[in-house]
Chain A
């Protein structure tokens, strides 16, 4: 009996001390406890080329900048950011499982989006179910918008405005015929169908349309048959390796239409490295900003280039990715880590970002207009529409060199 009592009293003494210690330590802990931000990103496999240019570098830069400034402002108190990240190996299943773990069992404070339309398509419903606000910088899909997920926001301009701007530009500059190739996945198919809608009543006619599988090694047979039809414009809804393949092979077969447009990857620094700045001259593509767009864009461009040893952000999705992080930072500063409040803030506010004002209607960014950009003297200039252009359009592409 006495032993029990003694041990009891000893235990309660320990409890008292522990409780006392905790009451002193807790406020200090709460201030320095990191904000855990989770994401999955392709570091291996076929998505890597896009993911490691347009997305992950921005997450790293953001965490570094915030931490250098004392941490992420959470309703007034500064807390360090801890990134919890995994390689999704360019697999949709791995990506979904990783987010299940991050949101379900790890219960991270916030999540950031993975790369690409396919991965976002798979993860968005899950994030929505778990109530995590999800700002996707690299997803293009009308279907994603039609799913009406309240927690899901798309930063990029969608296929309809992008192809709309392209068709407007072609029409305004006297193009009559065009040929299109597209990668046979969600991205390619949706852009292709949006283009067909945009072409209706535009007076432009489609002289050739061909799909191709991702990872293709030779597009020259297709480009040759397109060359024979001599269209005014070539449009490719392509991924980075195919964007470069199509450009190189167009040069090879001597196909030099007045307008040469390709998609993901034209906005990359890689494009001018591989094609040389002179070789890239006049090539059109999906791009929406560059360092001239705003002082914020310039600061971001310089910080990115400095941190990653000369590696430039791409002139399309990178800027929108940074804008997503700007919006998230502002939301957390205002509403802390209350995810419902963050969602409402994102959904109902007009945000000022480096790529301009952004406002959402449902999941869609309705403020950023569809744009077309063009390589001119080593810079990817926004050339259409004219009110956001950073340089005038060169309406006749010079010969490949």
Chain B
């Protein structure tokens, strides 16, 4: 294989991995911070994708403009969902384990609700639009412009989130909450504000991921579920609550899949992903980046 071919292969893995990472980060924020295992995460991603598609095809709005718009819309929706469902759940659950189990049930409900709402509005057909699909040559390799954009933006958003959590006071508060919810409350961190905010940010990120995906792939109301499953693998790989772990886990999974598909057979893709998953869990049961 030529150097260019290797470069293309690795890059295609990284591009897929970047998307995995972005989806996983949002889920990680919700699960790592609040123990909300949001099974409907992929559905909110789908919502972001449909929102972008609708604005692009009906009003000709550039999908790039829809990035902040999707983030804002999904964040607002996240705040509303948190206020309507998870706030009450947190208040009525006797302990964290019960909350986690009930939260899982609620998010299952959300999954069906959101998916069927979109089916009801637009039907279940595949949708898509053409955006920056022309190939770009870089070195000896060739990529679609939209995929490179998706990758760059996925990395940008992931990095921004990691920097936000590492360097700001807000981030410190969030990390404190992840480490010890009770301790954080004792030192005066306002969980009542931080929880909805971070749930909103998590959903906002899924909206961004959906917006990015719609630029490069066809979309349908059922598109979200596989991403939720992959995101669960990725956050387990990286370690619950570890943002850089989710980023590394996502990229790793993408690259392993791409190499595996090239050298074996795409039908073995799931086998490869789960083999990596099991291997990591055997070697480091708490995830690659768990402290």
Residues of chain A touching chain B, judged by Cβ–Cβ distance below 8 Å, are: 42-46, 48-49, 51-53, 90, 181, 184, 210-213, 215-222, 224-225, 228, 240-241, 244-245, 248-249, 251-254, 265, 270, 273-276, 279, 401
With contacts A248-B144, A251-B135, A254-B142 taken as known, whether A217 is within 8 angstroms of B16 at the C-beta atoms is: yes
Residues of chain B touching chain A, judged by Cβ–Cβ distance below 8 Å, are: 1, 5, 8-9, 12-13, 16, 115-116, 119, 123-130, 133-135, 142-144, 147, 216-218, 220-222, 226, 257-259, 261-262, 265-267, 269-270
B267: chain A residues at CB < 8 Å are 184, 210-213
Please, how many angstroms separate the alpha-carbon atoms of A222 and B261 in the complex? 7
Q: Which residue of A lies closest to B115 (CB)?
A: A44
| A244–B258 touching, CB < 8 Å | no
| B262–A221 touching, CB < 8 Å | yes
CB pairs A–B below 8 angstroms (16 shown): A42-B124, A43-B124, A44-B115, A49-B218, A210-B265, A210-B266, A212-B266, A212-B269, A215-B226, A217-B16, A221-B262, A228-B5, A253-B142, A254-B135, A270-B128, A401-B134
A252: chain B residues at CB < 8 Å are 133, 135, 142-144, 147
Among the interface residues B126, B143, B226, which one has the most CB atoms of the partner chain A within 10 A? B126
Please, how many angstroms separate the alpha-carbon atoms of A217 and B219 in the complex? 11
B218: chain A residues at CB < 8 Å are 49, 240-241, 244-245, 270, 274
B124: chain A residues at CB < 8 Å are 42-45, 48-49, 51-52
Q: Which residue of B lies closest to A401 (CB)?
A: B134
Contact of A276 among B9, B130, B220, B265 (CB under 8 A): B130
| A213–B270 touching, CB < 8 Å | yes
A213: chain B residues at CB < 8 Å are 266-267, 269-270
| B5–A224 touching, CB < 8 Å | yes
| B115–A248 touching, CB < 8 Å | no
Please, how many angstroms separate the alpha-carbon atoms of A36 and B221 in the complex? 30
Please, how many angstroms separate the alpha-carbon atoms of A241 and B213 in the complex? 13
A219 to B: closest C-beta gap in Å? 7
| A211–B222 touching, CB < 8 Å | no
B114 to A: closest C-beta gap in Å? 12
Please, how many angstroms separate the alpha-carbon atoms of A52 and B217 in the complex? 19
Please, how many angstroms separate the alpha-carbon atoms of A228 and B147 in the complex? 21
With contacts A52-B124, A241-B218 taken as known, whether A43 is within 8 angstroms of B265 at the C-beta atoms is: no
B235 to A: closest C-beta gap in Å? 18
| A241–B262 touching, CB < 8 Å | no
Please, how many angstroms separate the alpha-carbon atoms of A279 and B143 in the complex? 17
Please, how many angstroms separate the alpha-carbon atoms of A44 and B130 in the complex? 24
| B261–A270 touching, CB < 8 Å | no
Please, how many angstroms separate the alpha-carbon atoms of A273 and B217 in the complex? 13
Please, how many angstroms separate the alpha-carbon atoms of A225 and B260 in the complex? 12
A275: chain B residues at CB < 8 Å are 130
B16: chain A residues at CB < 8 Å are 217-218
